[in-house]
Chains A and B, each alone.
Chain A
């Protein structure tokens, strides 16, 4: 039995990856080409970016954020990175090193913010202090700091590495509960408005497996290990569920999410507009909020008053 193996659909050279949803195999060169094409298609289809956008990429040190940064630079965009140190023990230390190394090797600018250093708390402590799951405090902190850094730095677009699997999993969760407000907002682009930068997701046409493969082929070192605080969360469960269906019926994730954008999102557009009305400003930081003090400032007040909690105490028993 020799290494006959599969051939690239484009050039018939030996393949390095099989993509069941395209019913095809690709060599390294043509796999990268496919990824670039999908990003360009997403940018054009959803009107995500202008050529002269000043882009800030939210970078975690994981595969998706490094891949999207790499792809945008390759495609000729101007993009800086932003890393938020979440204080999740060794995991955060290592993820920050991956992000910094990627930036240094390419001569790119990486802005770094430390939750503990600048706001007096970290995610394990925030989780304990608020008695909520860590991913809740983490998402809230990141959203606020990404928005703030983009606006303060004069960036015209905030890019995140959310991929097709991320979006399909969130869509599944929102659909199961018929969360109409969330469904109406689940778009690859949210336009800039008072207090918020334009936010875009150029990887929505690419799967998580394709993004990991992009990093392997491009020689990008990223943090493979899972966040210790995310283990077992509902989002991961939804991804596993979708991948079980995908294995039986390749193309399901793309159909589920991309057809939602095409057929369902337009029906929710009025709801989205209504939802955007009537935000005031936070009396502490000036950010948009529906209350007097925004959720981030309330989190900072609660979490920074709590004595630091090591990550092990919060992950144990989850």
Chain B
């Protein structure tokens, strides 16, 4: 699957399918500070991502005080 990451914006390729939580763990990303989006729709933690999916992992933390 194609995975779009931010800060900095980049794209990586992941082989095979994954549960959302497993993918975040694999990439070292905290599930409390990220959302996973497929075709404009949120995918929950136990949602399955398929090998041919294009997904965005969106960080939700912003720094303004």
Contact = CB atoms under 8 A, between A and B. Distances in A.
A25 interface: yes
Interface string A195-235: 00000000000011101110011010000111100110101
A210 to B, nearest CB: 9
Indicate the member of A62, A209, A219 with the most B CB atoms within 10 Å.
A209
B44 A208 contact: no
A27 to B, nearest CB: 10
Interface string B26-45: 00001111110100111111
Contacts of A20: 31-32
Contacts of B61: 165, 208, 226, 236, 239-240, 243
B58 A212 contact: yes
Contacts of A165: 61
Contact of A227 (B34, B45, B46, B62): B62
A219 B7 CA distance: 22
A211 B30 contact: no
Contact of A243 (B30, B41, B47): B30
Interface residues on B, range: 20 to 34
A18 interface: yes
Contacts of A239: 33, 61, 63
Dominant secondary structure at the B interface: loop
Interface residues on A, range: 35 or more
B44 A5 contact: yes
A170 B64 CA distance: 11
A242 B12 CA distance: 28
A297 B65 CA distance: 21
A267 interface: no
Given A209-B32, A247-B30, A235 B63 contact: yes
A165 B32 CA distance: 11
Given A18-B46, A212-B35, A226-B7, A62 B65 contact: no
A186 to B, nearest CB: 12
B35 A25 contact: no
Contacts of B37: 216
Contacts of B44: 5-6, 15-18, 25
Contact of B63 (A6, A207, A211, A227): A227
A317 to B, nearest CB: 17
B32 to A, nearest CB: 4
Contacts of A236: 61, 63
A64 B64 CA distance: 11
Interface string A5-21: 11000000001111010
Contacts of A208: 33, 60-62
Given A3-B47, A3-B48, A17-B42, A246 B62 contact: no
A233 B63 contact: yes
Contacts of A139: 64-65
Contacts of B65: 135, 139, 166, 170, 233, 235
Interface of B: 6-7, 9, 17, 30-35, 37, 40-48, 58-65
Given A211-B60, A243-B61, 4 more contacts: A3-B47, A135-B64, A209-B35, A233-B65
